[in-house]
Structure 1
């Protein structure tokens, strides 16, 4: 991992398999990822895309699945053209979801170029994890 790290964490009162379902089910993901449609088969090496609209602009973010350990770990790259940066390896982030203990979920994002960028990402991921918690505890 390079640059500044953004980390968000939450304790969830639901079994790990329910949290895993929220993190990998396309219908659940649409709610978590700000209305974007998430497409992947969750196989290591497979592509992952997020297609949607942000502030009136259509977008398609992309990445690649790096690691999958059901109920424990999900790791993938993420690039958004909305950043205005070129689609180059140095502009991708790695997002890592780790489930541990009595369903403690941690999300980290690497490759933030400044502390402010990491702080902004952390706030966004804290919002996303709050939605994971809400969805997982609802059932």
Structure 2
């Protein structure tokens, strides 16, 4: 079967322990994930869900692997958009690798179908979420207030 894959890598000036906590603490997540947050016990086999700020289940699934603070694997399916839900379960692997004063965060998101509207959607979302996470950990503030900012005036002139 064909597979769609999206990979995103970021280097964040933090420790693996602080990054793991940021990836798994619901209250911290709300700050960089535009009000959304994950709920789980963060242990293999535990249920997982991504909640919107107003309590709607956006995605749900289970923790496949949790090796604190090195690797987190979540299998999930979109619950919010019918055109993404019909594609079935995806798998998201987050790997944390210390490199000097930074941590290399590699996110690999896959689904067993090609092409995939789901992978297209996460490929637009992960850069925004992780940019906010990186900024928050390094500076104490997020980079983007809105996940769908208006087009810049410079881009509008082109």
* Range of TM-score over shorter length: 0.7 to 0.9
Runs of at least 4 residues of structure 1 off by over 4 A? 85-88
Q: Output the CA distance in 1 between the equivalents of 2:30 and 2:39.
A: 10
Q: 1:26 to 1:11 in 2, by over 3 A?
A: same
Q: 1:104 to 1:2 in 2, by over 3 A?
A: farther
Q: Output the CA distance in 2 between the equivalents of 1:60 and 1:116.
A: 15
Residues 1:31 and 2:52 aligned together: no
The equivalent of 2:92 in structure 1 is 95
Q: Output the CA distance in 2 between the equivalents of 1:2 and 1:64.
A: 23
Q: How many residues align?
A: 136
- 1:27 shift after superposition: 0.6
For normalisation by structure 2, the TM-score amounts to: 0.73
Q: Output the CA distance in 1 between the equivalents of 2:118 and 2:85.
A: 18
Q: Output the CA distance in 1 between the equivalents of 2:15 and 2:37.
A: 25
CA RMSD in angstroms comes to: 2.7
Structure 1 unaligned segments of length 5 or more: list them: none
Is the CA contact (8 Å cut-off) linking 2:15 and 2:98 kept in structure 1?
no
For normalisation by structure 1, the TM-score amounts to: 0.81
Is the CA contact (8 Å cut-off) linking 1:95 and 1:107 kept in structure 2?
yes
Summarize the alignment of residues 24-63 of structure 1 with structure 2, pairs less than 5 Å apart: 24-52=24-52, 58-63=56-61
Q: 1:117 to 1:58 in 2, by over 3 A?
A: closer
